[in-house]
């Protein structure tokens, strides 16, 4: 692919009319055909399917819809559901046709991005090598004799080869970071629950994450901001807390292991890690020697404890019991769970809790942890000859991250003399994704002659430092100002625009305020409300917003509310005294549901 596909550059090209999405997607499909479908891709969208998608986003754009990823091509690992494409998890006998895309895919498509195809992986996302698939073995874009890393092998190679703007993978043990390190790209592993895993074939459900491959950390953050968001359909989803977008202090500290660093004889990798330490110091960081043993010991638990049994449970959840169809190395790993008892499981939980507590003392001394993404890399023939031990070697700096509830991002950190890339990973506590990614971007850009994957192209420019000034105010309404309600005219007369329907984050309670005319609800944050309150998001210009606020009578006022996707907007809120004697209607999930409670009750009675 000769054209750069970074999101910012492609969006700018569309805006000025120098190229159309139709032209870009033709070029992408031509490049994929030239590169070869196998082993990177398991299935591809047809050109006709892409034409339909392109027509849809053009229609939405013409209707005035904002789409920050308009016309951006992306790849999806084939354990993540995409409507119109088969999900195989790299096992043909397991394959099924989903009737709905995964939540993460839905969000990105809603933003205007288009899926090009489904990518290869270590079967059932079990492996860090990329060699365990009946669809072929992906290789490093720098040397076909070397592994691509896994399990998100195809997604990483598609991104590194310049075939897409970004790619989705998954990351349970390092699958979104190891392939990034082997292919000179960025791999962002978000905090567990930040991106929904609904629609993802589980590997280890309590530990799974959807990950993002991109050319730079800044591009990965663009995708994260649109893919994240609380999803009530995902039992492991968690709402983003206040302050997730905070910055690291200027005088940050970073941890470097004083013990336990292992490069398996790869002296070039050791030297490149040392250079990354020096580079991070030059960016204002202070190196702190930490005890790495609790992290390394936690990493060992992932394949020695109940989490292997969770992989077996995932297959049985899909009513799949066909060991003969499973790659022999994958089955040796997953099948070993039959020998794990409940007692073994609880002992592992207790051991992990103790290691997390021990690691807290190390986190008290550092803002971020800097590690090699892997200690070394291997040729394909080496991995095929010793598939389990060499795979384990690749996981010592990655396996513990989800078990210990950490955020992580892998970035390039130079090249060995033979031309193979090396990468490092920055880790932070849960929900510090934005902090560590911004620092990772600085570290990446400080590397001499930094380039994107195997394309040879320099990194695209950083996003503008200054935020774009808003043209108006977004306002959440919850009651009498909703569409069709008595006071909605106060918005429409000011030419306010309905942006979307949405829901609040958990923790908000809704009350039917006593004695208000017309009847109004009161929304308060008390940390107690377990539901998600339905609301509408409207946009007004600044002058209209000012006149609107001036008309709001007590006990209502305007404050800030957090939505289920973690974003914050202005909203109606009630003063605490007003709800003391009012009816708590939180259980109804919204004002309109409460107004229609009698018909809802009748409907339930008729169906009983």
Catalytic, out of 11, 43, 77, 509: 77
- Per DSSP, the residues of 506-532 read TEEEEEE-TT-SS--EEEEEEEEE-S-
Q: Provide φ and ψ at 288, rounded to 5°.
A: -125, 125
In this structure, what are the phi and psi dihedrals at residue 233, rounded to the nearest 5 degrees?
A: -85, -5
DSSP structural state of residue 37:
S
- The SS3 assignment for 60 reads helix
Nearest to 177 by CA among 359, 490, 406, 432: 406
Distance CA 505, CA 565 (A): 7
Cα–Cα distances in Å, from 526 out to 18, 389, 427, 579? 51, 51, 32, 11
Q: Is the peptide bond before 145 cis (omega within 30 degrees of 0)?
A: no
Q: Residues 6 or more apart from 178 whose CB is under 8 A from it?
A: 128, 149, 150, 187, 373, 374, 394, 395, 398, 410
Phi and psi angles of residue 572, each rounded to the nearest 5 degrees, phi first: -65, 135
SS3 for 429-488 is ECCCHHHHHHHHHHHHHCCCCCECCCCCCECCCCCCCCCCCCCCEEEEECCCCCCCCCCC
Cα–Cα distance for residue pair 182/416, rounded to 1 Å: 11
| Residue 360 CB neighbour total at 10 angstroms | 12
* Nearest of 514, 507, 491, 519 to residue 591 by alpha carbon: 519
CA distance 378 to 564: 43
Active-site annotation holds for 11: no
Give 276's Cβ-side CA count (13 Å radius).
30
| Beta strand 534-540 pairing with 473-477 | antiparallel
Structure token digits, residue 169: 């993978």
Helix (H) or strand (E) holding 533: none
Q: Would strands 556-562 and 568-574 be described as parallel, antiparallel, or unpaired? A: antiparallel
Report how far residue 77's alpha carbon sits from residue 130's, in angstroms, rounded to the nearest whole number: 12
Which phi and psi (to 5°) does residue 38 adopt? -95, 150
Instruction: Return d(Cα 540, Cα 473) in angstroms, integer.
Output: 5
Look up 175 and say whether it is catalytic. yes
Q: Give which of 374, 36, 77 is closest to 199, Cα–Cα.
A: 77
Q: From CA 569, how far away is CA 562, in angstroms rounded?
A: 7
Catalytic residue of the set 133, 151, 196, 211 = 151
Q: Is 77 a catalytic residue?
A: yes
Q: Are 427 and 406 in contact (CB under 8 A)?
A: yes
Query: What element of type H or E holds 345?
Result: helix 342-363
248-280 burial: b if 16+ Cβ within 10 Å, else e: beeebebbbbeeebbbeebebbbebbeebbebb
155, 175, 509, 582: which is the annotated catalytic residue?
Answer: 175
Q: Give the distance, in angstroms, between the CA of residue 350 and the centroid of all CA atoms in the same chain.
A: 29
Residues catalogued as catalytic: 77, 151, 175
């Amino acid at each position: 692919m000769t054209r750069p596909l970074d999101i910012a550059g492609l969006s700018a090209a569309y805006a000025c009319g120098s190229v159309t999405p139709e032209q870009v997607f033709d070029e992408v499909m031509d490049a994929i055909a030239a590169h070869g479908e196998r082993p990177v891709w398991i299935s591809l969208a047809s050109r006709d399917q892409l034409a339909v998608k392109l027509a849809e986003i053009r229609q939405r754009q013409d209707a005035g819809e904002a789409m920050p990823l308009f016309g951006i091509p992306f790849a999806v690992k084939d354990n993540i559901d995409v409507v119109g494409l088969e999900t195989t998890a790299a096992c043909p006998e397991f394959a099924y046709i989903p009737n709905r895309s995964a939540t993460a895919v839905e969000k990105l498509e809603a933003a205007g991005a288009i899926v090009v195809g489904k990518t290869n992986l270590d079967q059932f996302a079990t492996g860090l090598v990329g060699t365990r698939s009946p669809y072929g073995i992906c290789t490093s874009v720098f040397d076909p004799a070397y592994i691509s890393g896994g399990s998100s092998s195809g997604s990483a190679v598609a991104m590194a080869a310049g075939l897409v703007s970004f790619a989705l993978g998954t990351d349970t043990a390092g699958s979104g970071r190891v392939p990034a390190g082997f292919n000179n790209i960025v791999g962002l592993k978000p905090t567990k629950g930040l991106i929904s895993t609904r629609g993802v074939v589980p590997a280890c459900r309590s530990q799974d994450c959807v990950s993002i491959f991109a050319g730079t950390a800044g591009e990965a953050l663009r995708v994260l901001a649109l893919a994240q968001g609380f999803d009530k359909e995902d039992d492991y989803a968690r709402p983003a807390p206040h302050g997730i977008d905070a910055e690291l202090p200027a005088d940050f500290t970073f941890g470097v292991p004083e013990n336990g660093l292992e490069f398996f004889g790869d002296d070039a990798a050791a030297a490149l890690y040392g250079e990354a330490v020096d580079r991070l110091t030059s960016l204002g960081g202070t190196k702190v020697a930490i005890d790495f043993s609790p992290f390394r010991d936690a990493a060992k638990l992932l394949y020695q404890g109940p989490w292997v049994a969770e992989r077996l449970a995932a297959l049985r959840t899909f009513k799949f019991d066909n060991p003969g169809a499973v790659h022999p190395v994958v089955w040796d790993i997953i099948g070993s769970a039959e020998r794990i008892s409940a007692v073994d499981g609880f002992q592992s939980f207790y051991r992990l809790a103790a290691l997390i507590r021990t690691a807290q003392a190390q986190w008290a001394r550092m803002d971020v942890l800097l590690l090699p993404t892997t200690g070394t890399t291997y040729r394909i023939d080496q991995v095929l000859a010793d598939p389990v031990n060499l795979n384990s070697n690749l996981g010592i700096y990655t396996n513990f991250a989800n078990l210990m509830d950490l955020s992580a991002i892998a970035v390039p950190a130079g090249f060995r003399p033979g031309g193979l890339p090396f990468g490092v990973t920055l880790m932070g506590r849960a929900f510090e994704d934005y902090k560590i990614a911004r620092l990772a971007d600085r570290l990446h850009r400080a590397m001499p002659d930094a380039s994107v994957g195997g394309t040879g192209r320099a990194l695209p420019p950083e996003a503008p430092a200054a935020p774009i000034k808003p043209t108006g105010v977004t306002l959440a309404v919850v009651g009498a100002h909703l569409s069709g309600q008595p006071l909605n005219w106060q918005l429409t007369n000011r030419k306010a625009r309905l942006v979307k329907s949405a829901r609040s984050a958990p923790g908000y309670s809704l009350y039917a305020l006593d004695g208000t005319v017309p009847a109004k609800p009161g929304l308060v944050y008390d940390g107690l409300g377990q539901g998600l309150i339905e609301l509408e998001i409207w946009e007004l210009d600044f002058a209209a917003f000012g006149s609107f606020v001036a008309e709001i009578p007590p006990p209502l006022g305007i404050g800030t509310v957090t939505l289920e996707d973690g974003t914050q907007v202005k909203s109606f809120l009630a003063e605490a005294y007003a709800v003391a004697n009012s009816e708590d209607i939180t259980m109804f999930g919204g004002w309109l549901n409460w107004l229609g409670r009698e018909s809802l009750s009748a409907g339930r009675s008729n169906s009983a």
